[in-house]
A and B are shown apart, each in its own frame.
Chain A
Amino acid sequence: MALPPDTIRIRSRLSDNDISIVRNDSNSATISVDTTKSAYKFGPNASTIGKQVASANTGVVVMVLLSIWLVRGVSRFVNLKDRFPGWNRFYFRFWMLGAVYYLALLGFRVMRPEADDFYVLLVLLATAAVLLKVRDYRPARTLLLGFLPLTVFAIIEMFMFVFLPNTVRFYKDGFQSAEGFSWLWLFVFIFIARSHKKQAEKERLEREAAALEKQRIEAQNAALEQMVAERTASLTRQTEELRETLEELRITQAQLIQSEKMASLGELTAGIAHEIQNPLNFVTNFADVSTELLHELEEEQQRPTRDLGLETELLTDLRQNLTKITHHGQRAASIVRGMLEHSRASSGERAPTNLNQLADEYLRLAYHGLRAKNKSFNATLTTFFDPDLKSVDVVPQDLGRVLLNLFTNAFYAVQKRKELGEPGYTPTVEVSTLHRASGAVEIRVRDNGTGIPAAVRQKIFQPFFTTKPAGEGTGLGLSLSYDIITKGHNGTLSLQTEEGQGTEFIIELPG
């Protein structure tokens, strides 16, 4: 129900000044319409009095309208809607109280000049209560402080009007200046509160910006931490993979070493069989012969004329045979033992070892092993064993492997040279031991084979290096031998070689 703007004239009781307020507001318009209607309700008889009452209470209407404006301003200033919605609802409808109050004034035909002041006081108290409620908000406190003199003044004024109306008239000027001061105070504080609010707003924005920044940094940190965690996880995974690979390599290495051992053992199987067969044949033969000798001896003893010379000879032979049986039995046992030791994982324990015997044993094994594979192969074996050689503390199965390897290589080299068809060539493999004056022990394995070319010489101790065709050598033999002699026995493994003439490997062990 829109109405044209109307002008309301209010006379202030204290200042006697006219204040003109122009409002174009639907609410106020409604009220004024209502007021008018209410005024007319009193009928023709009361119309003159009703008009007087309405006119006397116009100030109340104005105050109600002003209070609406004030309530809106204060509510918006302290943002009451968001802070205390319930309070805001009540505070916003304060004009309703004003409307009821006005109707009551009309109804009871009250014409008191302080009626509007009473309503103003209520509004001020309500505003003070609201500001007290939101006192945590600094501009609200400032505003409260601003309203304080006006409110106190309104209370005192009301008190005076009610109880000491004459005094009011008497101190009219004092009241007037106090009111002026209160208003001035209020305006100043509104100004200060506004600046406080701006500052608070600025601070709030800064806080929000800081919070936003903090949030951004936190998000960034979280992202970074996640990246770090991912990277760590991937590194851990890689480390784990590498560790597993290393473990696999270690196992493979151990398996390779074992298979290298078993391969060299396999090469020797035939040689070993031959080497065991021979002593066993002797054992059975000498046992058989001994039985025959015993028969002969018994027959001899049965004769009337005993040939004591013959009997002595038979007994001597018997004793000799038993010695030979023992000897050949031990020979077979030693070969079996050697084979077992060779195939077993090295215990790594050193034991006093007769190197002459060890070298001889493995020379024969290597030779017969090769013979078993290649029947046309033949070589002259020469041994120069130093009779003064004492037992040396070595790991027998490890040193045996080294010797076996060197012998196998030597036989391979002479075989290769023989295949060249040189006239008058006699393949020869020689092993010699020497007890040096310094106490060191030397074992030399020499062949008159093909020799080692200079280019190959640098690589022969490297793992997996082999000149043999695929499948014939693992390339681990010399590499392992080198480790056994240098790391295992603190010795040295060196070589002298001349291409086309032969090679000599020299093992030196500290005494």
Chain B
Amino acid sequence: MNILVVDDELDVRALFEQRFRREIRGGQLRFAFAHSGEEALDYLHQHASEVVLILSDINMPGMSGLELLGRIRQEYPAPPPPAPPQVMMLTAYADEDSRRQALELGASDFLTKPVDFVALKQKLLQLAANDDAPS
């Protein structure tokens, strides 16, 4: 399963790569990284059908995570193939307003920082299992 992680913090890449070392080595999860909303959109345009899940920060300079979410929902509206990627939001500002806004925009989940990697791993592996099952 291909996952695109969008965060302006560069060290997120190192962290994810180490946290999911086994899964990456086992080929269960594949990660790509973007440091801004704009970069994420570029990546999606190039690898449209590959990305299944997007993990995005909300607070980023330039295009915010919520804006990115809106754009993705706009560009990939329909269920027919290729299936639209799921978007999970990750934010340090875990207020009710942001959560509601994110879910309204079509986020599939809303996680708060600091990230509980054990829970995240479970979710991701579950999704990966579901994703891999049909193929």
What residues of chain A have their CB less than 8 Å away from a CB belonging to chain B? Answer: 274, 277-278, 280-282, 284-286, 288-289, 292-293, 296, 317, 320-321, 324, 328, 367-368, 371-372, 375, 378-381, 426
Contact = CB atoms under 8 A, between A and B. Distances in A.
Contact of A285 (B21, B59, B117): B117
Contacts of A296: 21
Interface in B3-25: 9, 11, 14-15, 18-19, 21
A382 to B, nearest CB: 9
A169 to B, nearest CB: 155
Given A277-B113, A368-B59, A324 B11 contact: yes
20 contacts: A274-B92, A274-B93, A280-B114, A281-B92, A281-B115, A285-B19, A285-B114, A286-B15, A292-B18, A320-B14, A324-B14, A328-B11, A375-B95, A375-B97, A375-B98, A378-B62, A378-B67, A379-B62, A381-B61, A381-B62
Interface of B: 9, 11, 14-15, 18-19, 21, 59, 61-64, 67, 92-93, 95, 97-98, 113-115, 117
A282 B61 contact: no
Contacts of A324: 11, 14
Contacts of A278: 9, 92, 113
A282 to B, nearest CB: 6
A289 B92 contact: no
A296 B22 CA distance: 10
B93 A282 contact: no
A282 B63 contact: no
Given A328-B11, A375-B93, A288 B117 contact: yes
Contacts of A372: 93
A277 B14 CA distance: 18
Contacts of A284: 114
Given A324-B11, A328-B11, A367 B92 contact: no
B19 A380 contact: no
Contacts of A375: 93, 95, 97-98
A426 to B, nearest CB: 8
Nearest to B19: A289
Contacts of A292: 18-19
B117 to A, nearest CB: 7
Contacts of B113: 277-278, 281
B98 A282 contact: no
Contacts of B93: 274, 372, 375
B74 to A, nearest CB: 16
B61 A277 contact: no
B117 A282 contact: no
Contacts of A381: 61-62
B61 A378 contact: yes
A367 B113 CA distance: 19
B98 A380 contact: no
Residue among A280, A289, A321, A381 with the most chain B CB within 10 A?
A: A289
A380 B61 contact: yes
A148 to B, nearest CB: 130
Nearest to A382: B61
B6 to A, nearest CB: 14
B105 to A, nearest CB: 13
Nearest to A314: B21
A379 B8 CA distance: 13
Residue among A286, A367, A379 with the most chain B CB within 10 A?
A: A286
A379 to B, nearest CB: 7
Contacts of A320: 14
Contacts of B63: 378
Contacts of A293: 18
Contacts of B11: 282, 286, 324, 328
Contacts of A285: 15, 19, 114-115, 117
A289 B15 CA distance: 8
Contacts of B59: 274, 368, 371
Given A367-B61, A372-B93, A375-B98, A282 B18 contact: no
A376 to B, nearest CB: 8
Nearest to A364: B61
Given A282-B11, A367-B61, A371-B59, A321 B114 contact: no
A97 B114 CA distance: 139
Contacts of B21: 296
Contacts of A378: 61-64, 67
Contacts of A379: 61-62
A335 B61 CA distance: 19
Residue among B11, B19, B97 with the most chain A CB within 10 A?
A: B11
A366 to B, nearest CB: 12
A202 B92 CA distance: 111
Residue among A274, A278, A320, A380 with the most chain B CB within 10 A?
A: A278
A285 B15 CA distance: 7
Contacts of A321: 14, 18
A289 B117 CA distance: 10
Contacts of A328: 11
A425 B67 CA distance: 14
Nearest to B12: A282
